[in-house]
Amino acid sequence: MGILARSAQIPSICSCPMVDASELAWRLLSKRYGAQLVYTPMFHAVNFVRDQRYRSDHLHTCPEDHPLIVQFCANDPEVLVQAGKLAEPYCVAVDLNLGCPQAIAKRGRYGSFLQDEWELIRKMVEMASKELKVPITCKIRVFPDVEKTIAYAKMIERAGCYALTVHGRTREQKGRDTGLADWEQIKAVKKAVNIPVIANGNIQYLSDADRCLMETGVDAVMTAEGNLTNPAIFHGIQPPVWEMAEEYIEILEKYPCNLSYSRGHLFKMFNHCFTLPECCEIRQLLARASDLYDLREVCVALRSHFQKYIDGSEQWSSEGSTLKFPPWICQPYVRPPVKPPSIEEVSTEKTEEESNPIKEGRKRLEPERQTGEDGEIVLSKKKAKKLLKNPNFIFKPDRKPIGKCASCRNQMGTKCAYSRCKKCCHDHCSVNVFDCTGHNILIKTKMEKAMKITNNNPVRSSNLPSTQS
């Protein structure tokens, strides 16, 4: 089972690529506690190719950081290859993100929103496989239909993918609808392909990783949230949260990063503590932190607050808590299971929708202002709100569409006398000695003024130099 240098072994447990979270300092902390393979955050291939500063600001590594995989999102085969060539001196493989489900990925046309464009994915993987010196790997999400997931994975394998990470959730499973990953789909993919498969999803403890390896038969497992809440998950230990935080801050002193990233890591590790009302002030202290010294002060304050329970001078009460361990121990955040809405909830939503004041405001409009030619509502929410405040409010008529320039494809000036854009209007007036008051181009007026000045002040011949020798 080769990977990475096309001859080495795939590590059995990996840290996931995480936007704004898997920076160098966090990768080093994870590797210190047993992560065998780490990924950079997802980089935008276009920005990586075009902007040298983007590369220097985002791609940081060191000898202790290896083996490292650099992940890109892309929707152009040539751009992906160019980005891969710039990154290959610093990594053992390049990974193509085909799993990001966020709205920004939909707007940018990358991540899981490419999973319906199989031909484009095939071209990207195929070109990268042929032209890069390091292997190309991919990270995907599953389809609701397992057969389609298998066909998708086989297509990527045929294109030249060297190893495949399968996140066992669909594109729609995100936010409050995340739910559990489907290990059966991952197992089916592993049976269907002949390349290494890495499982992603539901890895909260080291025991989950061992169970996933046994149940799915994959070559390795990858964890994201389990790693964020407990960097020592790879060793199967659960230290106090401030110990992990202090060790992370120590690494930050040598390999600094954006403070928002480091603050975010501490918020995730301290999450269970911060849900307690008694830790409200400490939470505010972290929110106001502006440097590493402030982050250390938060760790000291948190340790001091819970020290009485650790020493045994006071007994910690877990009454009403759903946590397996005290809140100061590194442990995952477990989401509540996704429940389908009940009939009562659906009817309540419909009632709230029907009583929406904006929709009520639209209904109160006279027909010609409320609907267009095809009967669709054309009034904006903003106008509907204004109408609610003042039912007699009269809106200004909508602007008429602006036509095209008579000489080019740009929009013409709304007040242009010749139906042209400013540049074409200037050229037109220069050739024909015209004026255009709409664009404030006064070539004819200026020329007439110059002629008038010349006629009123003729040059006297006596002022000219003599041509006689």
Cis peptide before 67 (omega within 30 of 0): yes
Between the CA atoms of 58, 62, 68 and 69, what dihedral angle is there, to the nearest 10 degrees?
30
| C-alpha dist (Å) from residue 202 to 114, 168, 333, 341 | 24, 9, 11, 24
If one counts every other C-beta atom within 10 angstroms of the C-beta of residue 108, the result is 16
How far is 403 from 409, CA to CA, in rounded Å?
10
Q: Pick from 141, 122, 43, 17: which is nearest to 77 by CA?
A: 122
* Tokens found for residue 289: 């932190």
Q: Pick from 194, 199, 189: which is nearest to 148 by CA?
A: 189
Residue entry with tokens 């006064």: 442
* Tokens found for residue 426: 């200037």
Which one is catalytic: 16, 91, 100, 405? 100
Q: Pick from 23, 71, 10: which is nearest to 231 by CA?
A: 23
Residue 222 forms beta bridges with which residues? 14, 200
Classify 332 as helix, strand or coil.
coil
- CB-side neighbour CA atoms (13 Å) of 37: 27
- Catalytic site includes residue 100: yes
Task: Please list, in sequence order, all residues whose beta carbon lies within 8 angstroms of the beta carbon of residue 55, skipping any fewer than 6 positions away.
Answer: 48, 86
Three-state SS string over 107-146 comes to HHCCHHHHCCCHHHHHHHHHHHHHHCCCCEEEEEECCCCH
* Tokens found for residue 255: 């390999």
On whether the CB atoms of residues 436 and 416 are closer than 8 A, the answer is yes
What type of residue sits at position 192? A
On whether the CB atoms of residues 202 and 181 are closer than 8 A, the answer is yes
Catalytic residues: 100
